[in-house]
Amino acid sequence: MSDFESLREECHAANVALPATGLVDLTFGNVSVCDRELGVFAIKPSGVAYDRLVPADMVIVDFDGRVVDGSLRPSSDTPTHRRLFLGFPGIRSVVHTHSRHAVAFAQAAAEIPVFGTTHADYFRGSVPVTRALTAGEVEADYEWETGNVIVERFSDMDPLDSPAVLVRNHGPFAWGPSGEKAVETALALEIVANMALKTLAINPAAHRLGRHLVEKHFLRKHGDAAYYGQSSPG
């Protein structure tokens, strides 16, 4: 197996999982998976329909932004993914979608409040939203600056505590330790966005979940003291 074959296979599997989740319309979305030892990541090629993708189509890009293997043009969002890999060293995979309920919050420039325990199972508080990009940032290097405003938003937050963000007027990015887990987080994000919109429609003054319950639900699934699920086989 080549150095990049397993990376391409993981990236391909995560990308083709997106349509089945309902997270993407048309070709609006992409997944990347990195190999930090090799200093590269695989990413979906730009504008290729999901049902046409094969593992060999995944483009290999290094952390300096150079295509090192692949015959297709990488996703136009590649600089954003690269910025997140550089800024968040604890992640291996990034997912970007235009999932509809999460996008609704992004377009409203509103964070997704933590109303219930389903949300707290994945996110240790409200899902944050970035500031707007300036005209200069858009003109200079739009996709790279998109990554910069995400990293900036997490200057006082742990990206592993809230493994997703809403880019204002754009859409969500989510991440995780593998392609599969990052897609799961992107799906969880869309589910809690849907729930939050319905909660606000029923009661615009709905109370946020208490901190004690947020901590309990998040920490029972994440961290050294987690006890949800089964132990890995020894």
Q: Of 141, 158, 161, 228, which one is the catalytic site residue?
A: 228
Q: Do residues 112 and 127 make contact, with C-beta atoms less than 8 angstroms apart?
A: yes
Read off φ and ψ for residue 135, nearest 5 degrees.
-60, -40
The answer to whether position 231 is within a domain reads: no
The answer to whether position 233 is within a domain reads: no
Answering whether pTM is above 0.85, one says: yes
How would you write the chain as a 3-class SS string?
A: CCCCHHHHHHHHHHHHHHHHHCCCCCCCEEEEEEECCCCEEEECECCCCHHHCCHHHCEEEECCCCEEECCCCECCCHHHHHHHHHHCCCCCEEEEECCHHHHHHHHCCCCECCCCHHHHCCCCCCECECCCCCHHHHHHHHHHHHHHHHHHHCCCCCCCCCCEEEECCCEEEEEECCHHHHHHHHHHHHHHHHHHHHHHHHCCCCCCCCHHHHHHHHHCCCCCCCCCCCCCCC
The answer to whether position 132 is within a domain reads: yes
Q: 149, 150, 143, 146: which is closest to 165 by C-alpha? A: 150
Q: Do residues 14 and 81 make contact, with C-beta atoms less than 8 angstroms apart?
A: no
For the chain, the maximum distance between any two Cα atoms, rounded to a whole number of angstroms, is 56
pLDDT of residue 227: 59
Burial of 12 (0-12, 13-18, 19+ CB in 10 A): buried
- Per-residue confidence in pLDDT tens, the chain, 234 aa: 467 999 999 999 999 999 989 898 777 889 999 999 999 999 999 888 888 999 999 999 999 999 999 999 999 999 999 999 999 999 999 999 999 999 999 999 999 999 999 999 999 999 999 999 999 999 999 999 999 999 999 999 999 999 999 999 999 999 999 999 999 999 999 999 999 999 999 999 999 989 999 888 877 867 766 656 556 554
The answer to whether position 145 is within a domain reads: yes
Cα 164 versus chain centre, distance: 5
- CATH number for the domain spanning 128: value is 3.40.225.10
pLDDT of residue 228: 63
The answer to whether position 232 is within a domain reads: no
The answer to whether position 164 is within a domain reads: yes
Count of domains observed in the chain: 1
End-to-end CA distance of the chain: 26
Distances (CA, A) of 39 to 33, 110, 211, 226: 11, 35, 38, 31
Q: Of 121, 156, 224, 227, which one is the catalytic site residue?
A: 121
pLDDT tens digits for range 129-165: 999 999 999 999 999 999 999 999 999 999 999 999 9
pLDDT of residue 11: 97
pLDDT of residue 55: 95
Q: Which domain holds residue 183?
A: 5-219
pLDDT of residue 49: 86
Q: Do residues 21 and 187 make contact, with C-beta atoms less than 8 angstroms apart?
A: yes
pLDDT of residue 47: 84
The answer to whether position 71 is within a domain reads: yes
The answer to whether position 230 is within a domain reads: no
pLDDT of residue 234: 46
pLDDT of residue 1: 41
Whether 121 is catalytic is yes
pLDDT of residue 226: 61
pLDDT of residue 132: 95
Q: Are strands 29-35 and 93-97 parallel, antiparallel or unpaired?
A: antiparallel
